[in-house]
Structure 1
C-alpha cells in the first residue's frame, strides 16, 4: 500500500466526516458547496487507493442510531433539495428507468462507511485493513452514493 495515497484519503475522509458531523447547518448553499468539494476530494482519493485484502480486526460499525442522527441533521439542512431522480440500473430489464433518490441518504451512507474506518484507525485497526475496507466499500457501496451525491449537488447548485 502506498502511504501517500492512503494519507491523502484519510485527510479527505476526515474533512468530509467533520462536515457531516457538524450538521445541521443554517446556510444550505454554503453547506452544499462544502459538501460538493469535500466529497469530490474523497472520491478522487478513493480512486488512488491501492489496497489489497488484509486479514485482521476490522473497523467498528456505526450504529443505526448514529446514522439516523446524521441523516436527520442532513435532512434538516437540505430541505427540499434532498430528493432527486437518477437512473440506477445501467444494464438489464430496468436499465434507463429513473428512480427517486435522496441526497441526505447518500451523504449519510458515505459518512457511515468513512467514519467507521476513521474510528477503526483511531482504535488501532491496522491501516492496511482499513484501506481495504474503504477500497472495497467504494467499489460496492459508498462510491455510487458519492458519485450520485456529487451529481445531485452540482445540479442543485448550478442549474
Structure 2
C-alpha cells in the first residue's frame, strides 16, 4: 500500500490535470462561440487549441461517472459550424483509417471538425460546472478516443499543412 502522502500527491496531480483540461476546453468553447478574427489568426488559434487539447486529453485520469451531459441542439451546433466559415479553408483530404493501405482519401470539413469538438467539450463542461467532475472526465476521455480525437488529429494535420504553406502571411 502506498504511503498516504503519495496518494494525496497523486490525487492532487489528477485534480490539476482535470482542471488544466477544463480550463483549455472552456477557452476553446469561448473562442468557438465568439466573433471571428482574420482567417490567418483563426488558423493559428485553431491549430494551437487542437494541439493543446489533444495533449491534455492524454493526461486525463481514469474516471467514471454516470451523469449525462446537457444536450446540445442541432441549431446550436450549426451556429458554431457556420462561425468556422471564417477559416482560410474548410475542406481537406483525409483518410478514415490510415492503417488500411492502400486507403482512398475522402474529403473532410474543418468547420465540422471544430464544431464537433466544441460539442463534445461543451457537454463535458456542463457536467464539470455542475459538480459532476468524474462524469465530465469520463465524457471528455471517452469522446476523445471515440470521436473528437480523430477530428482533432485530422484538423491538426490540415492546419499544419496550411500554416506551413502560408508562413509568410501568418508570421
Q: TM-score, normalised by structure 1?
A: 0.89
Specify the SS of the correspondent of 1:141: helix
Tell me the residue number matched to 1:111: 118
Q: Please name the residue that 2:79 is paired with.
A: 69
Partner of 2:93: 85
**Most deviating of 45-54 and 27-36:** 45-54
1:89–1:95 CA contact under 8 A, matched in 2: no
Give unmatched runs, 5+ long, in structure 2: 1-10, 166-171
Q: Distance in 1 between matches of 2:131 and 2:76?
A: 21
The 3-state SS of whatever aligns with 2:65 is: coil
Deviations 1:125-154 (A, max 9, x none): 410011001100000000110111111111
CA RMSD in angstroms, aligned pairs only: 1.6
User: Per-residue displacement from partner, 1:61-119 (whole Å, max 9, x unpaired)?
Assistant: 211110000001112x025x100001112345x85211100000000000000011112
Specify the SS of the correspondent of 1:32. helix
**Which runs of no fewer than 5 residues in structure 1 stay unpaired?**
none
Larger of the two Rg values belongs to structure? 2
Pick one of 26, 29, 32 that aligns with 1:17: 29
Question: Residue 19 of structure 1 contacts residue 35 of structure 1 at CA under 8 Å; is this kept in 2?
Answer: no
Note if contact 1:87-1:95 (Cα within 8 Å) is conserved in structure 2: no
TM-score (norm 2): 0.83
Deviations 1:33-87 (A, max 9, x none): 11111221111100001123222x2211211110000001112x025x1000011
What's the secondary structure of 1:90's corresponding residue? coil
Q: Match for 1:4 among 16, 26, 39?
A: 16
Q: Which residue of 2 aligns with 1:50?
A: 61
